[in-house]
Amino acid sequence: MAIVHWTIFADNESDREQLFEQLLLGQDLPKELEYLKGMKGGLFSQSEIDRFIEEEERHDLNFLTAGSRQHLNTLSSGERKKALLEYLLSQDNEFLVLDNPLDNLDTASREVLRGLLSKLARDIPLVQLITRKTDQFSFPSRWAVFHEDKLRVIDNLSYLETITNTAPFKKSVPGPLNPIAQVSDPLVLFKKVSLSYGEKPVLHQVSWELKSGEFWQLSGPNGSGKTTMLSLITGENPKAYGQDISLFGNKKGSGESVWDIKEKLGYFTPAMIDRFRGYHSLENMLISGLHDSIGLYVQPSRAEKQLARKWLDFLGMKDLSQRYFHELSLGQQRLIMCVRAMIKHPPLLILDEPTTGLDDTAATLVVGLVNQIARSTDSCVVFVSHRPEPGLNPQFTYILSPGKEGSTGKVIEASAGMK
């Protein structure tokens, strides 16, 4: 009998963790999926990777990197995914639930994973949850929709036509609270930076120059060193010392403090959301971006509140100012976090994979927001993404290409940038 696979289109409004449980425990499933009941299932998801990282940190248990000296949390996001899949395949699972499997992967790795899954599909049922239409399996499957926490089987794909890609933001971006301190160009200057981790060369003679008002996309295959490049800017990488790097006019290692850098930097990566677990109103979330704090520990001024409301109005969330951040959908949370990073109008705004895990509609909104920020402010914007984001209009792309001695960098200028 032919093995039946499933593609489930999920939106960001629904609780995916709950669905994983239903599928893996065989509970409350539509009759078409009941054949999974009683079978041993494995979960391929970011949440599983996070769980293994926690195991490693707390109990020193290296399930995914057994046999390697490198810790899971130092692997690039693509490498982590590969390690998880290999582990799941070694566990004699009778079916796999895959949560947005192609997310975080570069084009070549996506093709490799597609090939692996096609092969695996000959042996065991695969159930894939996706939030982007383009991520469908390359082999036949049945379809279902997960919307408002309900799983519904569909017979054809006409449902997908109902997914709207909302028009981008049109209003102008609210200005800064205070006039921004002038910083001299270039904001960031890397001169022939080479870096290795132990024996592993990562960057080879990489030069990069970022100036005010520019709009960059940073791209390159998994493990090519994108996060490493960013960590040299954000101050999280001790290997920045001894390199020819200047940030905001100061040579690295010339006595600048982390705060000097943080003041001029807006930064967002989806993993940051985990740090905001408490009860934070949207208004306070945005204002905390002015203070670079997690949570708000000072009484906000009237001007700060007004500014936060202007941004909420810009986002079309004016009526949600007192709602708690954790009550929002994933897509709304990402918009708020991008604005939180931008609210002080930093000279440099870095957005590291802000669309990971989003559905098409939410990703379109984030891309629209970033385009508008890049178009109408003096901040230099750096957007990191594996996936070519439809509608993103960077002026320049910095591409890292791996080589024997580490990745080298190349600048590609768009023929019709936004600025």
Ligand X SMILES: Nc1ncnc2c1ncn2[C@@H]1O[C@H](COP(=O)(O)OP(=O)(O)OP(=O)(O)O)[C@@H](O)[C@H]1O
Question: Contact between 308 and ligand X (CB under 6 A)?
Answer: no
Query: What does the per-residue mask of binding to ligand X show for 226-265, with x meaning CB under 6 A?
Result: xxx-------------------------------------
Question: Contact between 100 and ligand X (CB under 6 A)?
Answer: no
SS3 letters across 175-222? CCCCCCCCCCCCCEEEEEEEEEECCEEEEEEEEEEECCCCEEEEECCC
Least distance between ligand X and beta carbon 289 (Å): 24
- Kindly tell me which residue out of 76, 128, 131, 372 binds ligand X, with binding defined by CB under 6 A: 76
128 or 385, CB closer to ligand X?
Answer: 385
- Residue 31's Cβ-count burial label (10 Å; 0-12, 13-18, 19+) is exposed
Expressed in angstroms, the distance from the first to the final Cα of the chain is 57
Least distance between ligand X and beta carbon 243 (Å): 15
Alpha carbon distance 258, 235 (integer Å):
6
Q: Is the separation of the CB atoms in 245 and 252 below 8 Å?
A: yes
Of 49-57, 218-226, 290-298, 362-370, the window that binds ligand X (rule: CB under 6 A) is 218-226
Q: Find the binding residues for ligand X in span 194-213 (CB under 6 A).
A: 197, 200, 202
Question: Contact between 77 and ligand X (CB under 6 A)?
Answer: yes
Least distance between ligand X and beta carbon 350 (Å): 13
Alpha carbon distance 337, 377 (integer Å):
18
Kind of pairing between the strands at 396-401 and 380-384: unpaired
- Kindly tell me which residue out of 18, 47, 74, 118 binds ligand X, with binding defined by CB under 6 A: 74
Sequence-distant (≥ 6) Cβ neighbours of residue 298 within 8 angstroms: 291
Of 72-80, 142-150, 175-183, 335-343, the window that binds ligand X (rule: CB under 6 A) is 72-80
Which stretches of 262-366 are assigned E, i.e. beta strand?
Answer: 265-268, 348-352
Nearest to 4 by CA among 29, 27, 36: 36
- Kindly tell me which residue out of 41, 101, 125, 220 binds ligand X, with binding defined by CB under 6 A: 220
15 or 86, CB closer to ligand X?
Answer: 86
Least distance between ligand X and beta carbon 405 (Å): 13
Least distance between ligand X and beta carbon 226 (Å): 4
Encoded amino acid at 393, one letter: N
- Kindly tell me which residue out of 36, 64, 75, 129 binds ligand X, with binding defined by CB under 6 A: 75
Handedness of CA 293, 303, 263, 334 (dihedral sign): positive
Least distance between ligand X and beta carbon 336 (Å): 23
Sequence-distant (≥ 6) Cβ neighbours of residue 88 within 8 angstroms: 42, 43, 44, 96
Structure tokens at 16: 């995916």
Question: Contact between 79 and ligand X (CB under 6 A)?
Answer: yes
- Considering CB under 6 A, how many residues would be counted as binding ligand X? 18
Least distance between ligand X and beta carbon 2 (Å): 35
195 or 307, CB closer to ligand X?
Answer: 195
Partners of 10 in the β-ladder: 146
Q: Which residues contact ligand X by CB under 6 A?
A: 70, 74-79, 197, 200, 202, 220, 222-228
